[in-house]
Amino acid sequence: MKMALAQFNPIVGDLPGNAHRTVEWAREAHAQGAELVVFPELSVVGYSPHDLLDNSRFIDAVEAAIEHIHRHIPEGLGVIIGAPVRNPDPIGKKLLNAAVLLERGLPPRITAKMLLPTYDVYDEYRYFEPGTHQDVIEFRGLRLGVHICEDMWNLAEYATYHMYDRNPVEELIEQGVDILINLSASPYAHDRHDVRSGIIETLCRRHGKPFLMVNQVGANTELIFDGDSRVHGADGRMLACAPSFEEALVMWDSDTGEPCTPPRRDRIDDLHDALVLGIREYVDKTAAFDQVVIGLSGGIDSAVTAALAVEALGARRVTGITMPSVYSSEGSIHDSEVLARNLGIAFHELPIRDVVDAFSRTLQPLFDGTTKGVAEENIQARTRGVLLMAYANKYSRMVLTTGNKSEMAMGYATLYGDMSGGLAVLADVFKTDVYALARRINERAGMARIPLSSIEKPPSAELRPDQKDEDSLPPYPVLDDILRRYIEERKDEEVIAAETGHALAFVRSILDTVDRNEYKRKQAPPGLRVSVKGFGSGRRMPIVARVNRRDIDQMMNELTQEARA
């Protein structure tokens, strides 16, 4: 049977638009000879619609969208879409996260997701009741084992948070299936392609059945979906695959399939493409602004952000503004100019000295006799924030912020200053990876698109004379290594100290600094998530809290001593 994988990019909440495009894609699949086309998880509403699902009229509209699709798909085609449907049971959550098989003239056939991820960025049990059983769907002589995303992830070797007490894939297999079909909304992170391959190959080999997986593509606020849809044969070999980071309708014939080898992907290339997609989607889907503006400091973060923005939107839609102060080096201004010229973007210079002086005069009655410090440094960063936002407000642009994950972790950024903007492009990219991105951008361009001096000079906020990041922070390779273990691998001080060989007190001081800056991240713009644990909705730490690792140590030591006594 000819099947189509619809690696589809819905817009969250745009029910009429998503429904119309679903019909178009179904017609195209039919025209190409498909008997069955499979869309991703929640394809009608986008992932995730969040609390839109709490609105009963929105659910009425979802039902209308499904009915619209049902009426307009071609005769002779089976269409599996993903949608929230009302839970027929009055007890439990009001919705099911469902796969719906639509055929003209036949009632919809519904399968509910059984395993609802409720950790990291996922809040599914907030909205959905788990399905209580899986029924094989008979479709033209084929027994389809339809299930949804997390339903396939319950393997001990891949569980990061916990195992579930049900195994939907095995429950389907026990009923006898000819093919497993998974609808996903599985966001990108460095390792996802390989993890998905590992899981699907394991399941194919264990059960001796082919496996078809269709994932969303596109981005919604912080989440980037890479697609990566594919079919594996009963022996685990990949038989069809969609390109990453773009929409695609991929045909696969279950009777004739040839092996398919996806192009080998490099981590930094993937990261690059994910960020480019994330920027483009944020700007185009919100449709509030056509263009973006970026403060160019001459440093590497703003240079990489600008280069990615140009990839995403084209040079015409990007403006760079340099805002030198008395502490800015000549080199910094020059590097910004060269970068803007290399990228072909509009470029302006707005010196901040006049405004900073006016702030000093205004505050003089209150600041007289005090020593210059963080207050004065922040005034500079905030003056830049106000200038960028003024330009953005005047000319309907969105500001992209440029802070990286290392800075966000350590609070090495100014609220309402360099943190002002609509989207934080690098918020989930450690500084060491920002360097790798810069080098890759230049390699791809075959030239120093990002000036080498921006890459090679020691990083500096340039908020006081001769300031260097390393005055305040450990060297980035050391810092990033510790931060990755703490944030992404969720390890604590003792384990990290043991693994890295750093002193416990040093590791503790870094972890304490991360914790203490939660209040800053609370007010940060959304950031593009490219790791398994970004700041943002996937990491929910209390702001008002007192975790004193020293006191905790002492309590634990006292107990040990009491136990000995």
Residues 32-61 that bind a copy of itself (CB under 8 A): 46, 48-52, 54-58, 60-61
β strands within 233-324, DSSP E: 238-241, 248-253, 291-295, 318-322
User: Which residues, 6 or more positions from 272, have their beta carbon under 8 angstroms from its beta carbon?
Assistant: 308, 311, 437, 440, 441
According to DSSP, residue 536 is labeled B
According to DSSP, residue 538 is labeled T
Verify whether residue 41 is a known catalytic residue: yes
Amino acid 325 reads S
Residues 438-467 that bind a copy of itself (CB under 8 A): none
* Among 97, 186, 109, 105, residue whose Cα is nearest residue 144: 109
Residues 468-507 that bind a copy of itself (CB under 8 A): 490, 492-495
Chosen residue from 131, 422, 527, 534 binding a copy of itself by CB under 8 A: 422
Cα–Cα distances (Å) from 489 to 14, 198, 306, 495, in that order, read 36, 20, 30, 11
* CA–CA dist 156, 258 (Å, integer): 31
Chosen residue from 379, 400, 409, 410 binding a copy of itself by CB under 8 A: 379
Residue 264 buriedness (CB in 10 A; 0-12 / 13-18 / 19+): exposed
Residues 77-106 that bind a copy of itself (CB under 8 A): 90-94
The torsion angles phi and psi of 266, rounded to 5 degrees, stand at -100, 145
Minimum CB–partner distance for residue 88 and a copy of itself (Å): 13
Q: Which is nearer to a copy of itself, 161 or 341 (CB)?
A: 161
369 is a site residue for a copy of itself (CB under 8 A): no
Positive or negative: CA dihedral 78, 84, 87, 92: positive
Q: From residue 335 to residue 364, what is the string marking binding to a copy of itself with x (rule CB under 8 A)?
A: -------------x-xxx-xx-xxx-xxx-
Q: Which is nearer to a copy of itself, 348 or 439 (CB)?
A: 348
Minimum CB–partner distance for residue 390 and a copy of itself (Å): 5
Minimum CB–partner distance for residue 420 and a copy of itself (Å): 5
Positive or negative: CA dihedral 213, 217, 219, 224: positive
545 is a site residue for a copy of itself (CB under 8 A): yes
Verify whether residue 260 is a known catalytic residue: no
* CA–CA dist 362, 356 (Å, integer): 10
- Choosing from 103, 113, 209, 520, which is the catalytic residue? 113
* Peptide linkage before 297 cis (omega within 30 of 0): no
Q: Which is nearer to a copy of itself, 63 or 269 (CB)?
A: 63
163 is a site residue for a copy of itself (CB under 8 A): yes
Residues 218-247 that bind a copy of itself (CB under 8 A): 219-221
397 is a site residue for a copy of itself (CB under 8 A): no
Verify whether residue 113 is a known catalytic residue: yes
Chosen residue from 84, 385, 403, 527 binding a copy of itself by CB under 8 A: 385
User: Which residues, 6 or more positions from 465, have their beta carbon under 8 angstroms from its beta carbon?
Assistant: 327
- Choosing from 124, 149, 431, 533, which is the catalytic residue? 149
* CA–CA dist 469, 456 (Å, integer): 14
Range in contact with a copy of itself (rule: CB under 8 A) among 226-234, 256-264, 296-304, 367-375: 367-375
Residues designated as active site:
41, 113, 149
